[in-house]
Amino acid sequence: MKDKKKILNEIQIIYNNFQSKKYLETISKSKKLLRKLPNNEFLNNMIGLSYLNMGNIEDAKNLYLRISKSSPSIISYQNNYANVLKAQNKLDEAEKILEKILDRKPDYLSALNNLANLKKTIGKYEVAIKLFEKALKLEPKNSTILYNIALSYRSLRNFEKLKEYALKIIDIDPNFTLADRIISQIQDYRKDDINHYELMKKKLINNKINDDNKADLFFSLAKANEDMGNYEESFKLLKKANDLKKKQNTYNLNLDIQEFDQIKKIFLNIEKQSSEIKELDKRIIFICGMPRSGTTLVEQIVSAHSEVKALGETDQIQKIICNNFDINSLNIEDDTIYDKFKVFLNKNDEKYNIFTDKSLLNFKYIGFIKKFFPNSKIIVLKRDIENNLLSIYKNDLSSKNLGWTYDINQILEYYKLFNNYLELWSNTLYDPYFEVKYSDLVKNAPQVTKEIIAYCDLEWENNCLEYYNVNKSAIDTASVNQANKPIYTSSLSKFEKFKKFFNLEQKKTP
């Protein structure tokens, strides 16, 4: 009895470590306990999911292949192996496994949730919502499922439904502060019809909320104070939010600098030349730049055209290159990269031949894109550093690739790196990209929009100026609220309201 109690206590500690994102401790303690509990399903999954969350995809894959083979009847292993395949960008294989699980056990909640999230990944939001709703019938008060439905409605620009589901979450679990974040993105706090501002302030008094919850609330309250014109209080809250995020963050700018040096070495050894234009049956318009630089706006303009389908931020180029190749030995004549991308395109929508991909960090891979997709178009957004800095600092851009966004100095350093990439492509490629200055687009939308459409080799359509009325393509970013409106010029002067709090004069600006 005593041993059983001790084991249960160890299991609880392992689970707590996993929930706190202490993955190395989770793995270590799980392996140790497996000596007492061989082949334990919970412990094996704690190890596999920790590997997956750490980005150790191969370790996770090898583990799940091994334990699935020895225990083929344990569905959770197959379910989590599908997550590994999804992380490897093998979406077809992942989907087949999840569908087989659901054929065998239709009420398996985790597989329903994972399949719905996979559908979200490929832009099938209506299908995703139906799957999430099936899962919700099994667990009507599951905050994670409700949140995924709210996010899907956000992508579809159905803000009423978004708010409906987010408020349900807050009612069920007040500490699920991600629901507060998505409400704050669409709420105008000059007319707070749901008394959300006061509700969030009360939550901060709760000693039970963790740093992640506090950061969510600080970001949300900062946005509310900006809406109400309280800029000094807004900045104080932003600093608290970003400092908490930075404390948890393991981002290392040197790794990004090393990647730039590797890519630079590859292309400096190649004679400057234009890419051979091959006849590819799918054409991609890549839209990239710093976060919060206007990429969503440009994608909405271009994909308002009747011949164009918006993909949003797919990160497919980065995934294909990182998952399939060593960048040091990457054969830049390799045709399989286009083929792998085409599989993703056909899964998204076979009817279109022209797509926009607005994966922000594709500016790092412009040289490769020009080789692998020679008939593509590449648009790079440039925004003045001050307003770009503010917009990045105001938004929690949760992504392992964007860990630099929580630190003012690192944002400035990354902005330099961004410009270094553009200089590299200008020096090594002919006609590498079409640059769009955000300020030019905002000040003179008709002319710049026509220039963008002409560069994309598309016939002019007035829809491209009326994108906010006609374009219903999904938006899976925090920019969804802005992209639903006509172009407005107030974004050009927002930094002036915060300028004295940033003290940029004392920093080395690029």
**DSSP structure string for 206-242:** -TT--HHHHHHHHHHHHHHHHHTT-HHHHHHHHHHHH
Residue 409 CB neighbours (<10 A): 11
Exposure letters 188-206 (e unless 16+ CB within 10 A, then b): ebeeeeeebbeebeebeee
**Residues in the chain, how many?**
510
Eight-class DSSP state of 429: B
What is the distance between the alpha carbons of residues 82 and 90, in angstroms, rounded to a whole number? 9
What angle in degrees, to the nearest 10, is found between the helix axes of 143-155 and 178-186? 20
What is the distance between the alpha carbons of residues 498 and 50, in angstroms, rounded to a whole number? 40
Q: Which residue, among 478, 482, 477, has the nearest Cα to 467 in the 3D structure? A: 482
Domains identified in the chain and CATH numbers = 2-173+181-200 (1.25.40.10), 279-506 (3.40.50.300)
Eight-class DSSP state of 378: E
Q: Which residue, among 139, 171, 175, 135, has the nearest Cα to 152 in the 3D structure? A: 135
Whether the Cβ atoms of residue 101 and residue 107 lie closer than 8 Å to each other: no
Q: 38: buried, middle or exposed (CB in 10 Å: 19+, 13-18, 0-12)? A: exposed
Q: Which residue, among 186, 188, 183, has the nearest Cα to 203 in the 3D structure? A: 183
Whether the Cβ atoms of residue 463 and residue 306 lie closer than 8 Å to each other: yes
> CB within 8 A of 344, min separation 6: which ones?
89, 91, 122, 314, 316
Eight-class DSSP state of 170: H
Pairing of strands 354-357, 377-382: unpaired
User: Measured between alpha carbons, how far is residue 265 from residues 96, 268, 275, 328, 455 in Å?
Assistant: 40, 5, 19, 9, 30
Where does residue 391 fall: left (phi above 0), alpha (psi -120 to 50 degrees), or beta otherwise? alpha
Residue 261 CB neighbours (<10 A): 10
The pLDDT value recorded for residue 419 is 97
User: Measured between alpha carbons, how far is residue 119 from residues 12, 353, 441 in Å?
Assistant: 33, 21, 33
Q: Which amino acid is it at 45?
A: N
Tokens of 388: 């770009």
What is the distance between the alpha carbons of residues 392 and 291, in angstroms, rounded to a whole number? 7
Tokens of 467: 């994108």
Edge-to-edge order in the sheet of strand 308-310:
308-310, 354-357, 283-289, 377-382, 434-437
Tokens of 402: 């964007």
Residue 95 CB neighbours (<10 A): 19
pLDDT tens for the 510 residues of the chain, in order: 567 888 899 999 999 999 888 999 999 999 999 999 999 999 999 999 999 998 899 999 999 999 999 999 999 999 999 999 998 888 899 999 999 999 999 999 999 999 999 999 888 999 999 999 999 999 999 999 999 999 999 989 899 999 999 999 999 999 999 999 999 999 999 998 899 999 999 999 876 788 999 999 999 999 999 999 999 999 999 999 999 999 988 889 999 999 999 999 888 876 665 555 566 778 999 999 999 999 999 999 999 999 999 988 888 888 887 766 666 666 666 667 888 888 778 776 667 889 999 999 999 999 989 988 888 999 999 999 999 999 999 999 877 789 999 999 999 999 999 999 999 999 999 889 999 999 999 999 999 999 999 999 999 999 999 888 877 666 666 555 555 566 667 777 889 999 999 987 655 444
What is the distance between the alpha carbons of residues 324 and 88, in angstroms, rounded to a whole number? 9
Whether the Cβ atoms of residue 364 and residue 263 lie closer than 8 Å to each other: yes
Eight-class DSSP state of 412: H
User: Measured between alpha carbons, how far is residue 209 from residues 6, 174, 475 in Å?
Assistant: 28, 10, 30
What is the distance between the alpha carbons of residues 250 and 24, in angstroms, rounded to a whole number? 14
The pLDDT value recorded for residue 206 is 76
The percent of the chain in helix, strand and coil, each rounded to the nearest 5, is 65, 5, 30
What is the distance between the alpha carbons of residues 338 and 375, in angstroms, rounded to a whole number? 11
Strands (E), 116-166: none
What is the distance between the alpha carbons of residues 402 and 148, in angstroms, rounded to a whole number? 22
The pLDDT value recorded for residue 77 is 96
DSSP for 265-325?
Answer: HHHHTS--BPPP----SSEEEEEEESTTSSHHHHHHHHHTSTTEEE--S--HHHHHHHHH-
Which residues is 284 bridged to in the sheet?
355
Q: Which residue, among 307, 357, 346, 310, has the nearest Cα to 473 in the 3D structure? A: 310
Tokens of 257: 């600098």
What is the distance between the alpha carbons of residues 357 and 336, in angstroms, rounded to a whole number? 18
Which residues is 285 bridged to in the sheet?
356, 377
